[in-house]
Every structure is written in C-alpha cells, then in structure tokens.
Structure 1
C-alpha cells in the first residue's frame, strides 16, 4: 500500500556497513495501514443524524459517515478533546476533556465554543435531560464523583454524589434517573440526581463501560473486559448477550432508528450492531491504535509495539498484527515504550507512571511497578537490573532485587529523556528533548552528549555498524547520525511524524518509535496517521 502522504526521500548515499557500502532507500511503504483515530471513545448521534466520535489523545471530535466509514474532523485540537459527547434538547453539543478537566459546549455548528466547567480532572461521561435541559457529568479514574453542570457556565457545578466506584458512560432515563455502569464494581446502577440515591440495576459484568436506552426503553450496556454488548431487563436485572465483540470497548450510542454503534479504543474502530439479530458491521477500524515506542526481535522478524491502548507484535515481512495485550481487557497500562531483553519485555507508560515487566516466552506479567515519574524507556543490564529513564525528573534509575524494589540514581540532569536503548557496546544511548543524542556508562553513570542541535529527537535505533537512526519529530524526518563525529545524514523527510503535544501529551507528543534491522530495513510508526511504515534499501 502506498503511504497517504508525499514523502520526499532524499537520494543520500548512506554508509551502513563497515565496508562503507552505499545504500539508497526506496520511498516509505505502509506495512500496517493508517487509521482515522488515536483511540476512539465517546459516541453520539446528533439531531442531524450525524455520528460523532471523540478522542482524548487525538484531542478531536470526528464526524463518521455511517455508510462509507469516511471520517472527517469536526472540532480539532485543542478544544476538541472528548472522552464523551452529549446532544442537548435544542441540538446543543457538550463534551468532556478528560485530562484538561473541562466541560466544553456549543449551541450549534456556527456558535462559539464555550467552557462551562473546569477543575474536574478525569471528567468522563455526560448527558442531558431532554425534558428539563439539565446537564450531568461524572469523573472517573482521576476522580470519582457525579455533578450537575450549569449549561450556561454561570453557576458552579453541584456535587450529587462521590466515591461511587467509577460512574462511566451513563444516560438519563425517562424517569429522570441516571443509568450507567460502575466501572470498578461490575454493576449497572441508576442514580437519583436529586439526592444521589444509588440503586443496582444489574450485576455480573467484568468491567461495564457504558449504558444507553433505545427508543423503546430497552437498556443496553457494554462490558469492556469481556467484549460483550448486553441488553438489560430493568424489571428483573437479567442480562442477555446481544453480540460478542473484542475487549477494549469504550462507549455506545443508539440513533432514532435504534441502530447501535460501539467504539473500541484498541482497534480505532466503530461497529454497528443490529440489536435483533446481533449482526455486526464494521464501519471503520485500524490494526494499530496509537503506535509509539518499538523494539525489533534479534532475527528482525517481529516488531514489538507499545500501542498506547494495546501491546502488539507485527510480522515485519507480512505486516500481520498480533495482539499481546489490550487496554481494559488485560492488565496493560497504556504503554508508550518497549524494551527487549533475552527473556523479558519492558513496557513503560507515561500516562500511568508504570513499568511492566513481561515474560517474553509466555507473556505473563512478572512485575508491575507504579510511582515512577513519567518513565519514557527501560533497558535491562547484564545482571538483570533494569534502568528506567524518567522524563519528568531527568534521571536514570537503576532498579535491582528480585522485586525490582531497590532503587538508586544512575545519573541525573537529563533534559527530557525520550527514548533509550542499550548499544552494541553495552552503553546506554538516549535522545533528549533538548536536542541531544546522549551516551551513559551503565557502570559509572558517566554522561556524554555526543550530538546536539537535533530537532526534538525521539525514536532511536542502532545500525549494524554502530551509527544511529533518529526520528526528528519537529523536522518530520529520519536522520542517520554518526556518534564518532556527529555527522548527520537525512534518510527521509516530509514524514507523517511529529504530532504536536496538545493539552494532554508530553512535549514530544506521542514518541515516534524507530527500529533498524540488520539488513538495513528501517521501521517507524506514525503519530499522525497511526500507520507503521518501512524503508527498504534499494
């Protein structure tokens, strides 16, 4: 498949072997096709019949053509960040900025966007009472509360209830109560917005994520852990499985024709489900969600990708994608980088400040450590210790012991470490946001800045002869850098990399992953269109 961009690949001759054999690269090709979203979350169908979808990482609200699957941006960064979307009785639209803690609203497509609430981190789901115009919103993950929001923004939010257990994608019922899931309790409940009374509607869910009514008053709910769409009998609380989908479900919406639409954050997908037959139709999807850091197997056949909403392996010959973990269908925690050793896979998450150590053979979790300061990379040393780079503190931490609970500072003073690898010489090499390629001795912690004036360097991989391929996010290109003399050669430019950070991302945006095989093939992920690309020597 040809990439959906015009890549100007320079005809530079690059020395990639000890014999200085000149290699010229073909234009980048998409090994895994791009997709429309960067994780897709809240869904809504407005009074015009438009299917709308929100993305937190993408900081956008999209319009999706139900028939063709074509996706266009309705509201882009930075105001478009939407974990959920709700349509009011007069056609107004409101949405939640999960990381910004803001609730935004506009009265119609031509009206200005206004902020009607702020200071609510983790603001998640919302809905209008179509009879009264009252607006309600919940906090989940970064908070745990339910609020009534003044649509004019003049009055402070009114607290209805707190410590509920994660009142996620909810909807106002015909009785004025709010019906939705308690994410952390495995229940669907209803809440009286007048006094916060909570009553259980149904139990037995793995992780319920959202609930919605159709025009006949039937209540449907999704189980993100089990990948199920269910119908709930309000009288008895019994549930009926309507469709078996994949895990990582996020939200659902039901239109005036009682068509059900379900979003999946790990697949960048929206599916339509017939509630009568259970038949599923894919409207739009992607094989990757938000590709970030990556690591290549020793034989060059498998590429491990930290895909934010999943952890995946890609066959470098065919592009076949295999899921190893999916968000909310496993214990994965939004991985943004991956390190590779002989026996272990090392995932770090900028979002949850975690290091997850996975057995490479059976993919079981060996360790899951929290409390790091924006860990951006991890590598394993010869003795089994793990070094973690912290973007927030500028430190390299050395973790030792059977439980990796013995922590010491290897070096500090780094200026925004992004990606870190272990070189063929045993040293640690990393990119810094300040524009450096840096080497650190893992024994002494000695720090040397080998190359400077790089333009937001991110992904990093070593070639067979000890040079480095670096993704320059700000310049949208790949460089070959010689650490011995600092020489830089542009390999490819005008690439779909370099997503601006926006309101929820670190200064690097989504760190662009890079990997180089022994035969000279270069792989990189796109933080713009979510595809995986390959550069092949001519």
Structure 2
C-alpha cells in the first residue's frame, strides 16, 4: 500500500469517526422554537358522511365526529359550516317535500329537524343509539330512520312529537336509503351485501341484488335505476330495478360513505377517509373532486426515523416527515381497522387504540396483519408497546393503567389506578411511563411498583406528550391551544407554540379528550403536532 493510499484511508477513518461522534452527540436544549410550519395542509369536515341537495340547490354534507353539517359549493368546492356543534352532528341528512331538513345525530341517538333556515331546531326522537340514515316519503312527508351498528332497526319518526313507531328489527343494517315514489324504502343491507326494497308498513324485505361486499348507500335516479356505493370495494354501481342487474359504472376510492343525486342527475359521493366530496356526471362519465383532504381526523402521532405514523380515526396512515406526503396503511371498511385514536410504535409492532370501540389492535409491522385484538376495555385512550412484547394501556373509563402480556395479551396487571382521565402516554428514557391526565397533570408512573409522581399540574387539558432528546417533555395543552415544554427535574416550563388549531370540543356525552392531540419529537428535536380543529399536521423546529 502506498503512502498516499495510507493517507487516504486514514482520512476516511477519521471522517467516519467524526461522523459517528456527531451522530451520537447529545442534542442540546434549544434557545427557543421557530414558528409552526404546515406539513400536512388543513381540510374541511372530520370525516364526511351523508349528503343531500336541498330545495334551494345547496349541497349539504354531514359529519359525525365534527358535530356539524357543512355546505359545499357545487361549482368551486368551497366548504363552510352550515349548522354548527352540537346541534349539527349528523350522519345522514334528509330533505322533505316542503323543504324541511332532518338529520341523525349518531352519537347522541337523536333525530333533529327544522322546517326552514329561520325555524328552531327540534328533537323529534331520542334515546336511539346509532341513528344512522333517514329519508322522507316525497308523497306525504312521512319520515323514516334506521339504527345501524349500535342497533339494527327501522323506525317511523313523527313530526308532531309522538314517540317513534318501531317498524322492524334485525334487517341487516339498512344504511343510506331513500323512499321511492311508490312509498317503498330502497336501500342497502350493510351486513348482508344486498340492496333491497322494504315495505314501511311492516318491514317486509324484497331483495333486489346480492352482489355487493358492503353496500353503504343507495339512491334512485327516477329512471328506473338504483345507484349504489360499496364502501369495501370503492365501486359506484347502477342496479336496474326491473331486473336487479348490477353494472359497475366507476371505480372510486374505498371508504365511500354515502351519495346524493341532484335534480340535474349529478351524483355526489362522500368519502370519509379522504374528507372528499366528488361529483359524477352519468351522461359524460366525468368525475370531479369538489373538495378533499390528506387526513380526515388526525389524532395520535408517533415518529420513527423519517416517518410519522398517525391514527387518523377513519384510517391509519404514514407521513413523510420531510415532504409531508401521506400514504394509506389501512382504511376503514376495507380492512379490520377499528377507528384508531392513538398509535404506538415498536420495532416489530403497531398498537392502535380506540376508546370508541374499547379496543387495542396489535399489528405486525412487516406483514401488516393483526396479531391480536384486546376488546372489552373501558374506553382505552392510549397504549405503549414494550421491547419484551408486552404493552400497557390506559383506560379513561376506569382510570387504570394496565400492563398486558403473554399469549394474546391475556395476562393483565394493573400498574396504576385512580388516574383522573389518563389521555396519552410515553415511556421515558428512565423506563417509567409518563401519562397526561385530563384533570390537568403530567405524572410519572414506575412500572415496577406503580409509584406515582406528579411532574406538573395545573395544565389546561393536557393530551399528547413526548420526550425531547435533551430530556424535557412536550405536552399539548388542548384547552389552551398551546404546546408547553416541561423540565421534569426543575418543573420549569416554557411555551413551544401557541394559538394552535387544537382542542376541538367534544359533543354531548363524549369524553373531554375527544380527539387527542398527537405530539411527537424526532432525534433532532423537531416537534410534530396533529391539529384536530383543521385536520392538519404542523412541524416546529428548534431554534439554535
């Protein structure tokens, strides 16, 4: 080996050593923080469901999680809130023969109604969990509604305030339906893969077609056809009423929720995962997206290398933390996903937590197959995966933090109990769990003995929490719409960012940490936060 080659090799080794030293050098506490940058842009809605074109030609769109009815401009796609929270919570919208408006408040179990824009909103029915779809009989103004998922029944809803009339139970999930000019109900049977005609007198069912996977909604076009959307396959199909013959007309994205047909024949389709409303013109075959979003309801957030993993409630997604590009991992209705509100990431697994379904779903990262479901939990708000294969989950319902291990995670041990609304968790570098409590605290919990230490109190509805490379914790104070950095040793605090679009209010009967604000910090100290008020993700760089 020549001297020059020896010199080059020595230089290369020195450079590699210097690079390694830099990569392992601790990140120092920054002097401050830069202004938040938009990584994933905002969008309208929080999942979009039922659609209707009213007597004035307005396109109305329903959102359950967003507690609002929106109006979407049929030309520009511009969207604005038409009826706000809490009265505006809607899964489906119906327009009556005199221009009346009725809608189902799914989580509240109510039917809301108003005669016109200036009239007061009235509750026509309540105490019916899972009220889903509804429609007026165009001949006489009778109103029908169904329970789906949290029940399975068809009701006649009286406009004069009398108790609803139960027509039938156990139909098979009569979802987005319409009443035809003959007075019969035409709609999909979600759990049977069928579209059918239902007699509102006695609930008798006549099947029209059985060739669907999960039909979500069906509307009549006045030309002898029933237009049907299949949420599992993403297909828009036409079914001839005379023969039952099905024709797939257009392939759309999966997770379609509903549709509406305007008087001019335009078919409007809602996709809950993409916060999208699209317009399809049967005569020309043209498909136009009026409005859409990269995320639907961003919640729990975790960084892993160059990727952000996000629980998007109607989907599970990955985000390139540099470019902001969003890609699907799972979408509702075309996977076994169960409305995730939080995510945990380990080398081998994801854990997706849903207080709504009372579950923690453990997914193998390499195969993307679910390896375990923990069901029957008391409103679990978050989970943390451990290297030994076990996990810990926090329950809003019980106030407990529980460690689960063994086959199918059936071995359970209560690590801590009596927490005042545990929301989000992170495992600190000291091995302990750090948990935010809705009551206003950040607490440290030792896994070995459950010893609890208050790290900070008098916080304004703390939700997401993450530890920085220099040892402090970043907490999202949702009620104050700010991120706060907390030194666990001294208790010193400083504001990372404020006036953030976080802290979306819960609807009636929902837990205060309704949509948890996700917070994560990468190895270079950059903070990422999900914004539940506008469905965006922001990046906040440390200033040095």
Under TM normalisation by the shorter chain, which class is it?
over 0.9
Q: What's the counterpart of residue 63 of structure 1? A: 71
Residue number in structure 2 paired with 1:93: 101
CA distance in 1, matches of 2:88, 2:117: 13
Alpha-carbon displacement from aligned partner over 1:42-82 (angstroms, at most 9, x marks no partner) = 10000111000010011101110011111111110010000
The answer on 1:503 being equivalent to 2:511 is no
**Alpha-carbon distance between aligned partners in 2 of 1:219 and 1:20, rounded to the nearest angstrom:** 63
CA root-mean-square deviation = 1.2
User: How far, CA to CA, are the matches of 2:26 and 2:542 in structure 1?
Assistant: 16
In 2, distance between residues paired with 1:68 and 1:121? 36
Runs of 4+ residues over 4 Å off in structure 1:
17-21
- 1:4 is aligned to none
Unaligned runs of 5+ in 1: 1-16
Distance in 2 separating the partners of 1:537 and 1:278: 50
For residues 192-211 of structure 1, the aligned pairs below 5 Å read: 192-211=199-218
Displacement of 1:369 after TM fit? 2.0
- Residue in structure 2 matched with residue 139 of structure 1 by the alignment: 147
Distance 1:505 1:36 in 2: 21
Residue 51 of structure 2 is aligned to residue 43 of structure 1? yes
For 1:403, what is the secondary structure of its paired residue?
A: helix
Does the CA contact (< 8 Å) of 2:467 and 2:474 recur in 1? yes
For residue 22 of structure 1, report the CA deviation from its aligned partner: 3.4
**Map of 2:10 onto structure 1:** none
CA–CA distance in structure 2, aligned partners of residues 360 and 23 of structure 1: 37
Query: Are 1:220 and 2:227 matched, yes or no?
Result: yes
Query: For 1:26 and 1:465, how far apart are their aligned partners in 2?
Result: 17
Q: Is the 8 A contact 2:27 2:525 kept in 1?
A: no
Q: Deviations over 1:373-404 (max 9, x none)?
A: 11111112232111110011000111111211
Counterpart position of 1:23? 31
Cα distance in structure 1, aligned partners of 2:429 and 2:533? 31
Secondary structure class of the residue paired with 1:338: strand
Matched, 1:157 2:172: no
Alignment deviations for residues 328-369 of structure 1 (CA, whole Å, 9 cap, x no partner): 111111000001111000000011111100111221111122
**Shift of the alpha carbon at 1:215?**
3.1
Q: Residue 278 of structure 1: CA displacement?
A: 3.3
Match of 2:538 in 1: 533
Query: SS in structure 2 opposite 1:408?
Result: strand
Measure, in 2, the Cα distance between the counterparts of 1:405 and 1:275. 53
Q: Counterparts of 1:128 and 1:418 in 2: how far apart (Å)?
A: 41
Q: Please state if 1:236 is matched with 2:236.
A: no
Aligned counterpart in structure 1 of residue 315 of structure 2, from 310, 313, 316: 310
Query: What is the 5 A alignment of 1:77-88?
Result: 77-88=85-96
1:492 aligns with 2:500: no
1:341 aligns with 2:346: yes
Q: Pick one of 432, 442, 449 that aligns with 2:454.
A: 449
- Of the candidates 111, 124, 138, which is equivalent to residue 132 of structure 2? 124
Go from structure 1 to structure 2 and tell me whether the alpha carbon gap of 1:472 and 1:198 turns closer, same or farther (over 3 Å shift).
same
Distance in 2, Cα, partners of 1:346 & 1:527: 21
The worse-fitting range, judged by mean Cα deviation, of 178-187 and 505-514 is 505-514
Greater shift after overlay, 20-29 or 357-366? 20-29
Instruction: Identify the match of residue 275 of structure 1 among 274, 282, 287.
Output: 282
- 1:294 aligns to what? 301
Give yes or no for the alignment of 1:415 onto 2:420.
Answer: yes
Rounded Cα–Cα distance in structure 2 between residues aligned with 1:525 and 1:205: 36
Whichever of the two has the greater Rg, that structure is 2
More helix by share: 2
Aligned-pair distance for 1:462?
0.5
Secondary structure at 1:474's aligned position in 2?
Answer: helix
| Cα offsets for 1:258-293 (capped at 9, x unmatched) | 100000110000011122343311000001000000
Per-residue CA deviations over 1:298-357 (Å, capped at 9, x if unaligned) read x2x000000011000000000000100011111111000001111000000011111100
**2:441 maps to which residue?**
436
Tell me by how many angstroms 1:424 deviates: 1.3
- How many corresponding residue pairs? 519
Mean CA deviation greater in 397-406 or 312-321: 397-406
Normalising by structure 2, report the TM-score: 0.94
CA–CA distance in structure 2, aligned partners of residues 279 and 370 of structure 1: 44
Cα deviation for residue 18 of structure 1 reads 6.2
Paired with 1:400 and 1:137, the residues of 2 have a C-alpha distance of 44
**1:103 maps to 2:111:** yes
TM superposition score normalised by structure 1: 0.95
- Mapped to 1, the partners of 2:45 and 2:325 lie a distance apart of 20
Q: State the SS of the aligned residue for 1:242.
A: strand
CA contact (8 A) 1:343 1:360 kept: yes
Distance 2:30 2:234 in 1: 50
Residue from 254, 257, 261 that aligns with 1:254: 261
CA contact under 8 A between 1:436 and 1:454: conserved in structure 2? Answer: yes
- 1:72 and 2:77 aligned: no
Q: Quick one: structure 1 residues 19 and 343, their matched pair in 2 at CA, closer, same or farther if it must change by over 3 Å? A: closer
- Is the 1:58–1:81 contact (alpha carbons within 8 Å) kept by the matching residues of 2? yes
The answer as to whether partners of 2:29 and 2:470 remain within 8 angstroms in 1 is no
CA distance in 2, matches of 1:94, 1:217: 26
Tell me by how many angstroms 1:505 deviates: 3.4
Moved more, 261-270 or 357-366: 357-366
Unpaired runs of at least 5, structure 2: 1-24
CA distance, structure 2, for counterparts of residue 312 and residue 506 of structure 1: 24
Deviation for aligned residue 1:204: 1.5
Does the 8 A contact of 1:215 with 1:256 survive in 2?
A: no
CA distance in structure 1 between the partners assigned to 2:407 and 2:207 by the alignment: 43
Partner of 2:542, secondary structure, is: coil
> Contact 1:441/1:447 (CA < 8 Å) preserved in 2?
yes
